[in-house]
Amino acid sequence: MNCKGFILLFILTTGLSLMCSGCSRAPAIDVMGSLFPAWLLCIALGILLAVFTRWLLLRFRIQLVFSALAYPFLAAAFTFAIWLVFF
């Protein structure tokens, strides 16, 4: 397959996949008849995991140098990981 054919095939498959991805429903969680966005649950779980990690670090007496940056980063990392795993 020549280069122009490969580029055309790439553009065609990419375009089709982007057009089909808009047809899916928004990720929402049904809580007692009310639909909540899934990212709210991911943020709440990410913050809880960051608090739990802080508790573990304090329990084992591990000091972080930049704790003001570390804990928000941990909360964000946990949030994005939960989003990637479940949604």
| Distance from C-alpha of 26 to C-alpha of 33, rounded to nearest angstrom | 16
C-alpha pair distances (Å), 4 with each of 8, 52, 54, 57? 6, 53, 54, 55
Q: What is the model's pTM?
A: 0.67
The answer on pLDDT for 58 being more than 60 is yes
Over 60: is that where the pLDDT of 1 sits?
no
Cβ neighbours of residue 72 closer than 8 Å, sequence gap 6 or more: 50
Structure tokens at 54: 């802080």
Q: pLDDT tens, 26-55?
A: 777 777 777 778 889 899 999 999 999 999
- pLDDT tier, 23 (very low <50, low <70, confident <90, very high otherwise): low
